[in-house]
Amino acid sequence: MNSIDYTLYVCTDRCLMSSPTIEESVEKAIKGGAGVIQLREKDASGRSFLQIAESVHAITRRYGIPLIINDRVDIALAVGAEGVHLGQDDIPARAARRIIGPDMILGVSASSLEEARQAERDGADYLGVGAMNPTMTKSDADTVTVDELKAIRAAVSIPIVIIGGINLGTIGHYKGLGVDGIAVVSAVVAADDPERAARELKAAWLA
């Protein structure tokens, strides 16, 4: 799993995207430098989610980019996705690892030191830590301070991507903290030019 480029991790959102189709949104993000795509379909039926996942996976495979399915282990397995991402209210990471086996990527959301430690113990390959700032995509998310982020980074050895209101205006607060990448939703998919937005965010993070 060490070969994955977590620098720019883009999560989809069909309600926010500026592109006419989810496929176009994903392809623009990848062309702009996204190294990981997470497919989030909170309101889709299982059948609809599966169809979207198959279509999106065809694109990510073409570019050699891992597709992570949010929440749904069954969908991830059904389409042969490279990974699954679980929140604290989803099935426990330990149970998910038993289902998906040792080779599929397992990501876990964490907003506290204990959640982060538990996720690593349970077999997570990376953490999504946040929300770092208030965000329109998840209004009920617990916020994480920079000090808490530092404590999590010191406590776990697996990669960390930060999420929650990450954009060109906030990105500078989190550089130099040992974080492996930034996870964004609206900063890329809602932009007028998602490809350019992705490229600018990645450049700003790496600068």
Task: Give catalytic residues, as residue numbers.
Answer: 40, 109, 138
How far apart CA 60 and CA 25 sit, in angstroms, is 12
Q: State the DSSP string of 75-91.
A: HHHHHT-SEEEE-TTSS
**In contact, 47 and 75? CB cutoff 8 Å:** no
How far apart CA 116 and CA 127 sit, in angstroms, is 7
Burial class (CB in 10 A: 0-12, 13-18, 19+), 121: exposed
